[in-house]
Structure 1
Amino acid sequence: MQLIKDLNNKPISAIPGRLPTNLICFSHLRWDFVFQRPQHILTRLSESTELFYIEEPVFLPGQTTPHYVYLKRGKHITIVKPQLPEGLGPKESKDIEIELFKDFMAGHQMADYAFWYYTPMALEFSRGYRPELTVFDCMDELSAFKFAPESIKLLEKELLKKADIVFTGGQSLYEAKKNQHQNIYAFPSSIDKAHFAQARTLKANKKDRKQLGFYGVIDERFDIGLIKDMAKMRPEWDIILVGPVVKIDPDTLPQNSNIYYTGSKTYAELPTLMAGWDLALIPFMLNESTRYISPTKTPEYLAAGLPVVSSAIKDVVHPYGKLGFVSIGTNAADFVAKAEIELNRSNKKEWLQKVDFFLAQNSWDQTCEQMTEKMKAVLAPAPAVYNSLIQS
């Protein structure tokens, strides 16, 4: 890892108004799991910084010697996977993570770096450092998720005090956090429009049955009962569910003959899958874990040219539902009724033109550029103030 150095071969600290040379991200999400907000933003930031993406530990059986595994995912992207032995208590794990991260920082001779947090839990091993910039990209209310650690709320309060700047993954989350930090901005889900627009032109096999699709993580937020009832009410429709099943028992998922589980698919494969769909679904339950979410899939479905029926997620209702781009359903019967209306829409061309006009104002490139400007403003030097002596 080459750092920028001065003539005396000493690392140079961050230049005001320029992002630090190294960006160290702490995340609760695996880089290779589902391609979503962190990957979109950080891949773009890695064009001007060296990115180290530190995941949560992997616990291995046997007498594993604690260490980091490094994986390259791009010229300037390194995934860091802590490997710890099974059976450790919380304090033992934390102590080991502190030492591993200490060795990491020393080994890479970090002198010009920023910290970017997705999880406050990483403070337990990273709080003793002084980065040039600390960013908290608060994409979810993690304390409301299943199996969330009890300490996460206190650690988030600590992180909000340490952070120089805070971004939120949606407008509703911004409203909930805006009084907890003096430099906070809402950056809702963006889109790689060209990628998903491929679904409009890709040729799909002609089919007699309507296909309703969903992609994403199938977890405690997913409304299993709604999908089961929809499948029973419309046996002539096929429901395609794409994505990994986590934090719930797979045996609890409905097994109707017209429900298909494909498992995980890559980001590159999604447009081809969606080319065969007639309508997209966002079937989430309304509870604490979905109160502040801003599903990235909403604009992605629309970019693919698909009509969408969604649960009444606040950041979907505003703006997509209010603008008539997404239909909002309350239960299985309502979802079916709204789906039938969308599938028989007579003005789809006009609707799609309005959707495209709206989406043209939204992209991950624009989001990343705007975030970068906000971060540079934090690093910019304060304007000099000169006192003048007024002669009387």
Structure 2
Amino acid sequence: MAVEIDSTQTEFHSHTSNSPKPLLVCFSHLRWDFVYQRPQHLLSRAADSYQVVFIEEPIFVDVAEPEMRLSSRPKGIVVGVPAFPHGTPHEAVVSGQQRLIETLIAQHPADFSIYWYYSSMPFALNDGSKADVVVFDNMDELSAFLGAPPELLDLEKRLLARADVVFTGGHSLFEAKRNRHGNIHAFPSSIDKHHFAAAREGLPDPADQAGIPHPRVGFFGVVDERMDIEYVRQAAALRPDLHFVMLGPVVKIDPATLPKADNIHWIGGKSYGELPAYLANWDYGFMPFALNESTRFISPTKTPEFLAASVPVVSTAITDVVRPYGEKGLVEIAATPEEFVRAIDRLEAMPRDSWLARVDEHLSTTSWDMTWDAMNREIGKVGSARTALTSSAA
């Protein structure tokens, strides 16, 4: 009997009509509860059709022996975190993770399984040999990030050789990888329009922001080596009348290096659910990304999120922001702090209604629902072809 894998178009065929939902095991370098972004958007939608098991990197805590710490998330998603005693040797961590992962997967029987990788590092633990379909969702060029393991590139070669389908987090990354795999597709950052459009209706100003004067320029996201700290410092100095509201956890860089000024406000990380209230009370958005190897291929999810909230935004010249947002006149591009000042001047004079109409026309072409459905169709093509091949061989 048939088991429906893609609720829109594609069907796989399984052995029994009483089979559980197919299994999707995700190996991620990002923790589920860190920042709500691409993995959470996609896998939350996948959970409508799949058993989703999300496996994080190990932690080192006060335990007597290795264990897999399990917790649940909405839609039945299972998050597994391998936990090891402090001081566990590297070799024991690797072998221990392999055993814990195999045990966890065995607890979720299914007639069809997908192994989904966000990083090539977990490929050293599980090479996908037991999966029916292997997916590499290459959302970032992780090898260019600060502190990237040296073996990452070699493992990526192996993962690309095994993967049945590859997705990229943006068009520039697709262009860089398109000749390295025969079934690769660009799926740039998308948008949950309903969530961020709530900002357009007007929401109460959060307490830790309410005392900050207007006009406000806001940023939200992870604060790390991808942010041009000096750009922020100079932009704030050039426009002391603007107040820069900076939301997000600080990782991999020393917080002491962040610029200090009366008009720069580092508020810290906020949950995904809290973001619309902050954006609703900003006058402009700000994406001060450094132009370096770590940002060469990024496709910031926050770009369409700013636009859905109707916040005019200024960004540095990130390729996947320039194309299409800058070229369409939806986002101001400013390579230098001086250009940032001129961009703010243009936004101050910009007719908001005509800009917002163009924004909405663009956003009508994308959503995380559309992205997941398109990805699932590509997975379905692989699965259907494999099922047909198995049937003919039998």
TM-score (norm 2): 0.90
Unaligned runs of 5+ in 1: 5-12, 385-392
Number of residue pairs aligned between Structure 1 and Structure 2: 370
**Cross-structure match for 2:42:** 41
What is the CA–CA distance in structure 2 between the aligned matches of 1:227 and 1:125, rounded to whole Å? 40
CA distance in 2, matches of 1:47, 1:281: 35
One-letter code of the match for 1:311?
T
DSSP 3-state at the match of 2:122: helix
Residue 140 (1) aligns with residue 140 (2): yes
1:352 aligns with 2:356: yes
Q: How far apart, in 1, do the equivalents of 2:153 and 2:57 lie?
A: 18
What is the Cα deviation at residue 203 of structure 1? 4.0
For the Cα contact (< 8 Å) 1:19–1:376, is it kept in 2?
no
Asked whether the equivalents of residues 211 and 277 of structure 1 are also in contact (C-alpha less than 8 Å), the reply is: yes
Partner residue, 1:232: 237
Aligned residue runs from structure 1 range 276-287, under 5 A = 276-287=281-292
Offset, 1:14: 5.9
The answer for the alignment partner of 2:380 in structure 1 is 376
Q: Which has the larger radius of gyration?
A: 1
Partner deviation per Cα, 1:98-151 (whole Å, 9 max, x = no partner):
121222233444553210000111111112632111100000000000110000
What residue identity is the alignment partner of 1:54? I
**Kept in 1: contact 2:14–2:112 (CA 8 A):** no
SS class of match (1:254) = coil
The superposition leaves residues 273-299 of structure 1 with CA deviations (integer Å, 9 ceiling, x where unpaired) of 001100001100001000000000001
The 3-state SS of whatever aligns with 1:84 is strand
Q: 1:20–1:287: structure 2 CA closer, same or farther, 3 Å change rule?
A: farther
Moved more, 202-211 or 83-92: 202-211
Paired residue for 2:263?
258
Task: Look up the equivalent residue of 1:343 and give its one-letter code.
Answer: E
2:144–2:294 Cα contact (<8 Å) kept: yes
User: Residues 25 and 19 from structure 1, CA distance in 2 versus in 1: closer, same or farther, beyond 3 angstroms?
Assistant: farther
> Structure 1 residue 264: deviation in Å?
1.1
The CA deviation at 1:15 is 3.1
Distance change >3 Å, CA 349–CA 94, structure 1 → 2: same
Matches within 5 A, 1:181-196: 181-196=181-196
The correspondence of residues 238-387 of structure 1 with structure 2, limited to 5 A, is 238-345=243-350, 347-381=351-385
Describe the shift of the 1:128–1:51 C-alpha distance in structure 2 as closer, same or farther (beyond 3 A).
closer
Structure 2 counterpart of 1:330, one-letter code: A
Partner SS, residue 78 of structure 1: strand
CA distance in 2, matches of 1:168, 1:20: 26
Structure 1 54/270 Cα, relative in aligned 2: closer, same or farther at 3 Å?
A: same
| RMSD between aligned residues | 2.1
Counterpart in the other structure of 2:200: 200
Q: Deviations over 1:186-245 (max 9, x none)?
A: 000000111111111114569862000000000000111111111111221110000100
What is the TM-score of this pair, normalised by structure 1?
A: 0.90
- Deviation of 1:93 (Å): 1.6
Distance 1:105 1:53 in 2: 10
Following superposition, the deviation at residue 267 of structure 1 comes to 0.8
Q: Using the alignment, how far apart are the partners of 2:307 and 2:134 within structure 1? A: 34
**Matched residue SS, 2:125:** helix
